[in-house]
Structure 1
Amino acid sequence: MKAFVVEKTEEKKFISSIKDIDIPKIEKDEVLIKASYSSLNFKDALSSIGNPGVTRVFPHVTGIDVSGEVIQSNSKNFKKEDKVVVTGYDLGMNTNGGHQEYVKVPASWVIKIPQGLDEKEIMIYGTAGLTAALSINELQQNSINSGKVLVTGATGGVGSIAVSILNKLGYEVTTITGKRDKIEFLKSLGAKEVILREEFDIDNKKPMLSEVYDAVVDTVGGQYLAHALKQLKHSGVATCCGLTSSHELNTNVFPFILRGVRLIGIDSVEIPLEKKQYIWNKIASEYKVSNINNLVTQISLEDIKATYEKMLNSKVSGRYLVKID
């Protein structure tokens, strides 16, 4: 079968290419999926250059998510021809991922695609959509059911889907982007206001600022999250799921003890399968957006390497869907 393979040639040196490799053989409680679609995520791009925080086992097939059809099953929970999706856990990290024609995974990682989505649609959302939906679910669980929401890193996969879902649900969405040429794109997704990165005063040293936002969906971390926390209204909520700006958070306690602000971490990798199923069901129903196809660029296995280079240089927007078969 064909696969996008990353190989280590020497210390800190890696190459990647499309290769022919053997179709894996499944064991007890595993399934073999004929892949239909995968996607590209920033974590995949990091894996492709040998980032040790993501992947340490080489040769390696990237792709932290996949959708397709079960063709072999050694699990009582799945049968041949079941349409399924896998996101997170170790897929695409140190276990060969979705950028190959056949994918072997433990049955405990697999979810049947819910009614209302097909193999293509669910992978347009993919890990990014799951993360965005988890973030919005936390807002709702913490009584933020309306109001003004700030989305950072809004042209990325998580950010753009978050904007679309929040707009559908009736929130007033403000976005931050460093890409002036994407202002109209963000407005087409439902952003009411677009703030350019240089206009977001992250160097302001004041410990608190005027109350502006009911919630923040942060995808970048660092000073953007720190600055946003200062502008949350009383009882506001910030969700945090990314670190493309920085993994460090230099802040103070005032937003938390004077305004009762809550900061909630979002992990889509190791959450229980039951919660993933719950969130996918929401994406298939109340969170499903009509403009999802406007967010996606479809590519093939052969296009992955060049797209990774763009990703690592912040020259992409929206989602990249990889058609496998």
Structure 2
Amino acid sequence: MSLSVLDQSVARAGVPQDQSIRDTLALAQHCEALGYRRFWLSEHHSLPSIVGTAPEVLMAAIAARTQSIRIGSAGVMLPHYSAFKVAEQFRVLDALAPGRIDLGVGRAPGSDYRTAQLLNPDPRASDNFPQQVQELQAWVSGAELPEGHPGRGIHAHPMGATAPQLWMLGSSGYGAQLAGHFGMPYAFAHFITDGEGCAQALELYRHSFQPGLLAQPAATICVWALAADSEEEAWHLFGSRERARIDRNSGRYGPLQPPQLAQRAYNEGEQAYRQQLRRKAMVGTGAQVAARLRALAQELEVDEVVVITWTWDPAAQRRSYELLAREFALA
């Protein structure tokens, strides 16, 4: 089983937002040294809690600072953009880091409705998502589009000996079925749904899979996890994430609070959600979290897990990845 990383450049209270971007760069270098397989970056817009808005730009900076780790988007929210322009961007990235680029795409807006309208005023943009995926694959791989397609004869440059690997991302059955139909690798956002619907989506993906980009289905899951040197410390650090999740349910978004300031009075409904969140959370020592990750991977029949970790202190985040790397003997 291999481990990978998803980072979102989370905003932190009392820290300039641009520092979160630089911390992501440092984390990518750290995780490469630890032996992680991939380093993925998310795309969100106009959120005070997540400041990673342009994964393709950040990927270029990481490519210049690393040598072996795969670098990817998790993902590009394709309905906002021209598939041709995305293909060009990722062909350039593949030139910077040949054979190391993952192009993960999704259909979700990664923002609120008003922000999505500013990115693409067409309210039906997502209806064209399947066609965009087909076009994108042709342009990133150098294949020709069908007769009659307006893009036939148009090519995304620069071309090279390698090409970005296209991934489908999702948290529902729609993306799973589309990934299966196109024969693409598929990543389920377990951390968004707290695992709800994950097993069903993976089953749908495998059942609907037709050979295409791949001969056999290949799936991974993106899981939130936090390890520390003691269980007590891990739960203390988890307080920042816990507060953010509870606040989000009532429409309150903001930077991540330091754990010593994250506690507030919760109402009865919030307390119930807090207990549910703690039951599902993968939090503890390195050994405890590793055991739960292995059990989940075995249950879902995946041989790779992508780990996302939020902490207010970047040192605690780096330590969490160190502990898991040691448990899985990555280096």
How high is the TM-score relative to the length of structure 1? 0.29
How high is the TM-score relative to the length of structure 2? 0.29
- The structure in which a higher percent of residues are helix is 2
